[in-house]
Structure 1
Amino acid sequence: MTTGWSLFVIFLVVLNIAGCAWLLWWTSKVRGNEGRNTSETTGHVWDGDITEYNKPLPKWWINLFWITIVFSIGYLLWYPGLGSFAGYAGWTSAGEHDAAKAEADARIAEAFGRFEGMPIDEIARHPDAVSFGARLFANHCALCHGSDARGARGFPNLTDDSWQWGTGTPDEILQTILHGRQAAMPPLAAAIGGDVGVTEVTAYVQSLSGIKADPALAAAGKARYAGVCAACHGPDGKGNPVLGAPDLTDGVWLYGSDFASISEGIRNGRAGMMPAHEPILGELRSRLVGAYVWSLSHDGQVVSSGAQ
């Protein structure tokens, strides 16, 4: 906050407190010889004989207001509330967060520290760790992958055996969680012959996974595919898990298998991004999430709740 804004905020706060104090003093004072039992009225009369009197507030009530004002001044001096003034307590929301996080990390380390550095498939043998990983997944991953981890358009299903990056090994899953992934499907309309080329390659790509397509268009698209698309997806369309280039023959589609969705991806490219979660979760929590994710597609290999 700049000095100018800080002074402006301080001015507004002081003005409001002073205004409240003045208003309290002015409305509660005894005027002249009227005394506490003044018969002065507001002029409001109801039903002919019910009159509203203008009397000061009770002394105890007024004192509560004064105590409130004094408390607010002390609070603003102790905690930050006057512009850029840090307060005599030195309290900050960032410090409060860091302290709470350190306390939570200590509890987690005590409960799950034995899993530090352990492969996630081994962690998945411990139901308590998988259960905690599921809660972490719900808090940090379900927004994109869904509460059931089955994904949505543009977000992969984590419960099947189809993997865009790698083959679903424990190390690859953990790598994805820790460091994220960045898809890089470039727009290819100009490279494959404009709208005609996009139409032909789309038909060929559909044919690779058994989707009914015009044979003539698919045949023409095969040559265009071989010249441009095969560099990433392979000559047979099986993909390249190292590059994150998906298999086009397995019937699993991240953005949809209809003609419009495939042609859109070819024409405009795709840029899906899985953010790195190590800065958010830390290494141990990432392993616990990884154990949960690994367990989703390896149900038969997860030991029952009584195992250790």
Structure 2
Amino acid sequence: MSDFTSNFWSVYVAAITLIGIVACLLLLWFSGKAKANTAGDNTTGHVWDGDLREMNNPLPRWWVGLFIITVVFALVYLALYPGLGTYPGLLGWTSRGQYQTEVSKGNAEVAPLYARYSSMKPEDVAADAQGMAIGERLFMNNCAQCHGSDARGGNGFPNLTDSDWLYGGTPDKIIETITHGRIGNMPPMAAAVGSADDVKNVAQYVLSLSGSPHDSLRAALGKPKFAVCAACHGADGKGNQAIGAPNLTDDIWLHGYGEKAIVAMINNGMTNQMPAQENRLTEPQIHVLASYVWGLSNKPSPVSR
């Protein structure tokens, strides 16, 4: 791992780059100085197909000129831009800086579009047809990769169209989630629960909480063991939005349904991350996006303006 934290590779690549350029110049110089053994008619003596002879003519000057220009361009480029290891270049250009400049320019161009919605309540934005159309494009570009184009999520990715929220579904909570992201952590609990049979019994009890098909005898045995889970999910299994603990009574399964999936969760735990968007989206954009997400599960009547 130390190979990737030291500057060895940057120095190695820089050295190879410079050696390659110098080698090209030396090759050009030696090829111009070298003299081939020629006959009296300026041929090298090589003959193909009976009468096709190799002449000993110098390289065209335009070709040599282009070659030199290419080498000079490479050297100038490496002096101006960061092409030699950690050397920043005389212009101080970086891809990150270029990206930030383009993003800032783009945000400035669309700022008037979002200014209208910044002063509106999320509920009003969600009722605005144009606002929802803008929110949909933001969602497709930034959220659909995980939650799906229909926002119904998938295994490990929450469905945003229902009323089940891990951290709360108010507009303010949605804005908070989008802005700062979330890290959900279910620690492995098998050791605290007990034996493998105890884990299966707890899984059956969890299934019983939502009225799912279950083994009632095992569920009864698992109920006392559920006490170690109640610290997060609550004694009634209804979860805790303050820490993102899921409601186990609503028959909505984020990481899979059935005894096998629940046993795996108890044994192995799970860590999920919703990345923060505050460095990618502006506050007005997050406001519109949160309004769109809120509207997915609240369905206000659209109003055209």
How would you bin the TM-score normalised by the shorter chain?
0.7 to 0.9
Identify the residue that residue 68 of structure 1 maps to in structure 2: 70
Q: Are positions 1:209 and 2:210 aligned together?
A: yes
Relative to 1, partners in 2 of residues 1:30 and 1:149: Cα closer, same or farther, differing over 3 Å?
same
SS at match of 1:267: helix
RMSD between aligned alpha carbons?
3.1
Other-structure match for 1:23: 27
CA distance in 2, matches of 1:127, 1:209: 37
CA 1:4–1:183: 2 relative to 1, 3 Å: closer
Asked whether 1:239 is paired with 2:239, we answer yes
Kindly indicate whether residue 95 of structure 2 is the aligned counterpart of residue 96 of structure 1. no
Gap change, CA 1:229 and 1:7, over 3 Å in 2: closer
Which residue of structure 2 lines up, in the alignment, with residue 295 of structure 1? 295
User: What is the letter of the counterpart of residue 184 of structure 2?
Assistant: A
Q: Structure 1 unaligned runs (5+)? A: none
Change (3 A) 1:58 1:268: closer
Query: C-alpha distance in 2, partners of 1:3/1:224?
Result: 53
The match for 1:251 is: 251
- Residue type of the alignment partner of 1:107: E
Q: Secondary structure at the match of 1:150?
A: coil
1:177 equivalent to 2:178? Answer yes
Deviation at 1:236, TM superposition (A): 3.2
After superposition, give the CA deviation of every residue in 1:209-229 in whole Å (9 maximum; x if it has no partner): 22222221112222332x333
1:86-235 alignment to 2 at 5 Å?
86-116=88-118, 118-166=120-168, 168-225=169-226, 227-235=227-235
Cα distance in structure 1, aligned partners of 2:192 and 2:84? 60
Q: Do 1:38 and 1:55's aligned partners in 2 also have CA atoms closer than 8 Å? A: no
Structure 1 residue 186: Cα displacement: 3.0
Could you tell me how far 1:132 is from its partner in structure 2?
3.2
Q: Is the 8 A contact 1:119 1:171 kept in 2?
A: no
TM-aligned CA distance change 1:122 to 1:77, over 3 Å: same
CA contact (8 A) 2:160 2:296 kept: yes
Counterpart residue type for residue 161 of structure 1: S
1:285: which partner in 2?
Answer: 285
Percent identity among equivalent residues? 45
CA distance in 1: counterparts of 2:272 and 2:75, whole angstroms: 51
- Shift of the 129–43 alpha-carbon distance from structure 1 to 2, 3 Å rule, reads farther
In structure 1, distance between residues paired with 2:263 and 2:10: 55
CA pair 79-43 structure 1, distance change in 2 beyond 3 A: same
1: CA distance between counterparts of 2:198 and 2:135?
Answer: 46
> Take 1:120 and 1:250, find their aligned partners in 2: how far apart are those partners?
27
Q: How many residues are matched? A: 301
Alignment match, 2:46: 43
Structure 1's consecutive aligned runs of 4 or more residues displaced over 6 angstroms after TM superposition are 1-7
2-side partners of 1:175 and 1:267: how far apart?
Answer: 31
Structure 2 vs 1, CA of residues 53 and 262 (structure 1 numbering), >3 Å: closer, same or farther? same
| Partner Cα distance (2:260, 2:7) in 1 | 56
Alpha-carbon distance, 1:234 to partner? 3.2
> TM-score, normalising length from structure 2?
0.84
Q: Report SS of the residue matched to 1:271.
A: strand
C-alpha contact 1:79 1:86 (8 A) present in aligned 2: yes
Matches of 2:84 and 2:270, distance apart in 1: 48
Given that residues 36 and 44 in structure 2 are in contact (C-alpha distance below 8 angstroms), is that contact kept between their aligned partners in structure 1? no
Pair 1:159–1:73, CA change in 2 (3 A): same
TM-score (norm 1): 0.83
Matches of 1:6 and 1:218, distance apart in 2:
60
Q: CA deviation at 1:261?
A: 0.5
> Which AA in structure 1 matches 2:157?
F
